[in-house]
Homo-oligomer: A and B are copies of this chain.
């Protein structure tokens, strides 16, 4: 059986407030067709790929907020994407805002799914590391209200066998990619490829940070997490200026060596592809990052015992 998987990151340019979900799906279908025609078997779309990045807007009316959510998946608007993928025998990753009823309680998550080449949803993930804030910051140039509009994900970091069970696939979303914990939990399940979508503002609303440094942090995190777990990572942005608010692109396909195999060059709809050798990660996972030989969990206990940092108190002064 082949240990290669040709994949695509289907970066999306801006989706404005006025744009319909159907128009976003149409753009995704164009890119999926392009990827399939080039021989790709897996396409990664962005986080919250059906609408504008709505957490930048303060909204008090729950009905207004819920317009950005999906109560079922496939939804009427996304069904054509599922059908095209099944026709083309291409699997995909899709991020969307999930609204679900759970024991009489309405819950909302920032969610992604893995869809097999047969069109079946085979795995769901709900974002754990929600960035931003839950209160209104009227003095900020824009909001980042993920902590208001979503609950913290309750499904953990899992992996799934895809493509005739040949590939151990993981998934996460946006800010999760900065956290080594995200990838180590998947690494400990033998992950070989991680799909992730993101929407990251070009500017930091909390403190001044030059935009080049923010792109550097994105790349540094994804590259290090790939290397330190010997896994491929396919990281796909929604990018460009949505109603005037900039988000950087820099979608990348990163090898298990931590090297960038392909990188988007625009902030628009753009498909990048790479024919990934899945055995490339094995030499890393069997040597420098042979976890069983080298890891010492008895010295890692603080990682799970403590959420926040606790510096030692000064003993004098």
Contacts and interface: CB of A to CB of B under 8 A. Distances in A.
The secondary-structure label for the interface of chain A is: loop
A293 B240 CA distance: 28
Contact of A259 (B216, B223, B224): B216
Contact size range, A: 35 or more
A288 B181 contact: no
B165 A303 contact: no
Contacts of A299: 128, 153, 156-157, 181, 185
Contacts of A156: 299
Interface string A282-317: 010101111111111101111111111111101111
Given A292-B309, A315-B165, A188 B302 contact: yes
A117 to B, nearest CB: 15
A48 interface: no
Give how many copies assemble into the complex: 2
A111 to B, nearest CB: 15
Query: Which residue among A175, A220, A315 has the maximum number of chain B CB atoms within 10 Å of its CB?
Result: A220
A212 B223 CA distance: 16
Interface in A203-225: 204, 206-207, 213, 216-217, 220-221, 223-225
B189 A311 contact: yes
A180 interface: yes
Contacts of A241: none
A79 interface: no
A258 interface: yes
Given A224-B225, A303-B303, 4 more contacts: A131-B294, A190-B309, A190-B312, A204-B287
